Amino acid sequence: MRPQRYNALTSQYFAAAAGAGVLEGARVGRGAAGSRLQGTWVQFDLEVHNERISAARFLAFGCPHTIAVCSRVTELALGREIHASLPDGIDSLRAQFDVPVEKLGRLLTVEDAWGAAVAAARRRAEA
């Protein structure tokens, strides 16, 4: 029995947290945003082949919504073209996970970490 403040999708992704971890390699770009002191910190590792994401991992210090969204993002990203905005978009993710408006800042941290990882992956590809 989880507290009622999370919808089923949030509970499912928070519990499983698939996609957690780190990636290593020449094709991996890493980006992070937020801070533990502020309560939310997120890191994404993206492995890119031919402009498409072949692997994605995350680390997150944050609330269940933050962890669930990060997990979903790494799942959605696989096989997609690399793009600075979050797979499915922040508004759609917020709706899917029923993220309360006061937590919007945490989703923006997820988006910032994603954007930083995409930029790092592109730099790796160009190098």
Partner 1 sequence: MSAIVYLDHAATTPVDPRVAAAMAACLTADGAFGNPASTAHAYGGAAHSLVAKARSQVARTVGAEPAEVIFTSGATEADNLAILGAAEYYRSTGRHIVTARTEHKAVLDPCRELERRGFSVTYLTPDRRGVVEVAQVEAALRPDTVLVSLMHVNNEIGVIQDVAGVAGACARHGRARLHVDAAQSVGKCALDFAGSGIDYLAVSAHKAYGPKGVGALIVSQQRAAQLQPQSFGGGQERGLRSGTVPTHQVVGMGLAFEIAAGDLQGEGQRLAALSDRLWRGLEALGGALRNGAAERCVPQILNVSFEGVEGESLLAAVSESIAVSTGSACASATGEPSYVLRGLGRDERLAESSLRFSLGRPTGAADIDAAIGAVGRALGRLRRLSGCRV
C-alpha–C-alpha distance, residues 117 and 74, integer Å: 12
Nearer Cβ to partner 1 (103/124): 103
Other residues' Cβ atoms within 10 Å of the Cβ of residue 88: 16
C-alpha–C-alpha distance, residues 125 and 51, integer Å: 9
C-alpha–C-alpha distance, residues 30 and 114, integer Å: 9
Instruction: Count interface residues toward partner 1 (CB under 8 A).
Output: 24
> What does the per-residue mask of binding to partner 1 show for 28-67, with x meaning CB under 8 A?
--------xx-xxx-x---------------xxxxxx--x
At CA 12, angle to CA 30 and CA 41, rounded to 5?
30
22 is an interface residue for partner 1 by CB under 8 A: yes
Nearer Cβ to partner 1 (14/114): 14
24 is an interface residue for partner 1 by CB under 8 A: no
Interacting residue ranges for partner 1, rule: CB under 8 A: 1-3, 5-6, 14, 17, 20, 22, 36-37, 39-41, 43, 59-64, 67, 100, 102
